[in-house]
Amino acid sequence: NAGVMQNPRHLVRRRGQEARLRCSPMKGHSHVYWYRQLPEEGLKFMVYLQKENIIDESGMPKERFSAEFPKEGPSILRIQQVVRGDSAAYFCASSPTLLGADTQYFGPGTRLTVL
Amino acid sequence: GQQLNQSPQSMFIQEGEDVSMNCTSSSIFNTWLWYKQDPGEGPVLLIALYKAGELTSNGRLTAQFGITRKDSFLNISASIPSDVGIYFCAGLGSSNTGKLIFGQGTTLQVKP
């Protein structure tokens, strides 16, 4: 059973470009969470999605950031018009149920660098 | 919002020594989790705690859920070089949406 997969592992963008980060949850998992980790800091919650629904986006910046988890395919975290402050590691986690938050399995992350 | 304060920020110890780190919060959490993160990787769950006062072990690791539900500690006994990494505490927030609140991390270095 493959773990949570994220791609790309590393992404370099220039200011003003768009970044698309993909997350494929573990097989059988229908709950996806996105977290951001700035250098030397802990992970910060961004958004929680179920298939085709955003459940909690309280950690998402109000502008430029969006997330989706379509019926088919991976979850996508999209950052428009990136700025240098968006440089961070972005982690996706998945769990089989909502109550199984302790069974959130994390992917290896996408490291975004904005030049 | 809910926050976790984790200490110490970093530790440099000799192989074989025991290690202790802790997390405190001004608010109550119903679940405490401890993760380890290796460089370039995502966090991996070490121990999960569900009840106030609970003491749980996983090999050389022992963690406790504080009675007040506002703190937790992690002990590593007889450290070995592969214990090197960043350790994070995390609490399950009050939003009931599976949102985890993470501490700032404790960086552990072990000298052989």
DSSP string, A9-67: SEEEE-TT--EEEEEEPPTT--EEEEEEE-TTS-EEEEEEEETTEEEE-TTS-SSSEEE
Question: What residues have CB less than 8 Å from A85, skipping those under 6 apart?
Answer: A114
Q: Which of A97-106, B10-19, B66-75, B95-104 is predicted with the least confidence, judged by mean pLDDT?
A: A97-106
Find, in chain A, the residue whose alpha carbon is nearest to that of B47: A102
Polymer length in residues for chain B = 112
CA-based nearest distance B89→chain A, Å: 9
Instruction: Give chain B positions within 8 Å (CB) of A67.
Output: none
Amino acid B96: pLDDT: 67
Above 80 in pLDDT, residue A103?
no
Amino acid B30: pLDDT: 87
Burial of B23 (0-12, 13-18, 19+ CB in 10 A): buried
Q: How far is CA B74 from the centre of its chain?
A: 5
- Indicate the pairing of strand B61-65 with strand A19-24: unpaired
With vertex at residue A56, the alpha carbon angle to CA B68 and CA A105, rounded to the nearest 5 degrees, is 70
Structure token pair of residue B63: 């963690």
Find, in chain A, the residue whose alpha carbon is nearest to that of B88: A42
How confident is the model over A58-91, as pLDDT tens digits?
999 999 999 999 999 999 999 999 999 999 999 9
**How many residue pairs from chains A and B have C-beta atoms closer than 8 A?**
68
**Cβ within 8 Å, pair A42-B103:** yes
Amino acid A101: pLDDT: 57
| Interface residues of chain A, partner chain B, Cβ below 8 Å | 4, 31, 33, 35, 41-45, 48, 55-56, 58-59, 91, 93, 95, 98, 101-109
CA-based nearest distance A25→chain B, Å: 14
Amino acid B36: pLDDT: 96
Please list the residues that pair with A43 across neighbouring strands: A37
Question: What residues have CB less than 8 Å from B16, skipping those under 6 apart?
Answer: B78, B79
pLDDT tier at A43 (50, 70, 90 boundaries)?
very high
Q: Which of A9, A41, A43, A49 to mutate to test the interface with B (most CBs of B within 10 A)?
A: A43
End-to-end CA distance of chain B: 41
Q: Which residue has the tokens 């791609």?
A: A7
**Cβ within 8 Å, pair B98-A98:** yes
CA-based nearest distance B14→chain A, Å: 23
DSSP B12-49: EEETT--EEEEEEESS--S-EEEEEE-TTS--EEEEEE
Above 80 in pLDDT, residue B103?
yes
Q: Which of B48-52, B83-87, B91-95 is predicted with the least confidence, judged by mean pLDDT?
A: B91-95
Which of B33, B41, B101 lies at the smallest CB-CB distance from A102? B33
Average of per-residue pLDDT values in chain A: 92
